[in-house]
Structure 1
Amino acid sequence: MRRIYFLVPDIKTTHHIVDELHREGFNDRHIHILAKRDTPLEDLPEATILEKTDFIPAVERGIVLGGTSGLLAGLIGLSYAGFVIAGGPLLGVILAGATIGSLAGGLTGMSASNSKLKQFEEAIEKGELLVLLDIPIERITEITQKILKHHPNAEFDGIEPILPPTH
């Protein structure tokens, strides 16, 4: 799966695009709309906190950093206690570090806006809407061409991998 971005000039065009995406078999959990604060989206699928913030990348970084810290703490403990803490307890220290790191990273990420969306902030503040579509790789060209053909005022603005994958 990949996430593609379309910058759309108004709510009416966004409604038409979402309706077309529904006819193409996409449901609301694969469509995310980001608009200026206080813009009434009516029945459009609004972007969630996962799309609006850096929560997922921060959790990933927290797991790596916490797991590494847990490993180091476990190895230091192993060097002092000998083989007494080898195996299960060492794994427990690593997992505890990864858990604490992921929690801390996630909390940090929730407070930071999505760095990938910064390039769209100005357009969104002017009233444009950003459509994020989670799409199978093999359908990117087909769907992008259909949207641009039917809505030439929509602007295709890129593709990125999705982590974690949505199904």
Structure 2
Amino acid sequence: MKRIYFLIPNIDIARDIVEELTQSDIDEKHIHIISKEGTQLEALPEATLLQKTDFISGLERGVAIGGTTGLLAGLATLVLPGGIALSGGAILACAAAGAGVGSWLGSMIALDVPNTRHKEFEEAISQGKLLMLLDVPNEKLSSIETTVIRHYPEAVLEKVETSLL
């Protein structure tokens, strides 16, 4: 899957694009719109918390940091004098527990952090433009880009990246 980023000047054009895409066999659950706070998107598919925040990367960082910390804590008990002797399974359990706590904490913190992938679009969004994210199969990428740009020259193709979904 690829994620296509379009900047759309207004809600009317966004509505037309969404209608055309859904008629072109793109499911609405693969269309996400980010707008300035307070903008009424009416029936347009608004981006979820997963698209608007750094939840996924916070989760990934939390697992890595928490797992490493848990592993080091388990290993430290092996080498410290007076430490409790742990078996390999207990050390892995410490790493897993650390990963679990780290992922929970990392993802909770990341819910308050705007998605860093959208940083370059913050100014345009604050000016009232809409950021449309389209998750499309690789084989449909070219046809979707062409359709949107040909029919809606006001829509600006900003970037394409591999989707995290």
Q: TM-score, normalised by structure 2?
A: 0.93
Distance 1:2 1:15 in 2: 21
Q: CA deviation at 1:83?
A: 9.8
1:136 aligns with 2:150: no
Residue 20 of structure 2 corresponds to residue 20 of structure 1: yes
**Deviation of 1:88 (Å):** 2.1
Q: Post-superposition shift, 1:125?
A: 1.4
Q: Distance in 2 between matches of 1:83 and 1:122?
A: 55
What amino acid does structure 2 have at the position aligned with 1:130? L
SS at 2:98's partner residue? helix
CA RMSD of aligned residues (A): 1.6
Which residue is 1:96 aligned to?
97
- Contact 2:13/2:152, CA 8 A, preserved across alignment: yes
TM superposition shift of 1:108: 1.4
Is the 1:78–1:86 contact (alpha carbons within 8 Å) kept by the matching residues of 2? no
Q: Which runs of 5+ in 2 are unaligned?
A: none
Tell me, in whole angstroms, the C-alpha distance in 1 between the residues paired with 2:139 and 2:113. Answer: 32
- Describe the SS at the equivalent of 2:144: helix
What's the CA shift for 1:82? Answer: 8.7
Aligned residues: percent identity? 46
Q: Which residue of 1 aligns with 2:9?
A: 9
Spell out, residue by residue over 1:85-113, the C-alpha distance to the aligned partner (whole angstroms, 9 max, x if none): 22321111011000111111111111111
Structure 2 equivalent of residue 59 of structure 1: 59
CA deviations on 1:114-157 (whole Å, 9 max, x unpaired) are 11111111111111111001111221111101100010110001
TM-score by length of 1: 0.92
Consecutive unaligned residues of structure 1, counting only runs of 5 or more, are none
* Structure 2 counterpart of 1:121: 122
Aligned to 1:40: 40
CA distance in 2, matches of 1:5, 1:111: 22
Total equivalences in the alignment: 164
Give the letter aligned to residue 79 of structure 1: V
- C-alpha separation between the residues in 1 aligned to 2:73 and 2:85? 15
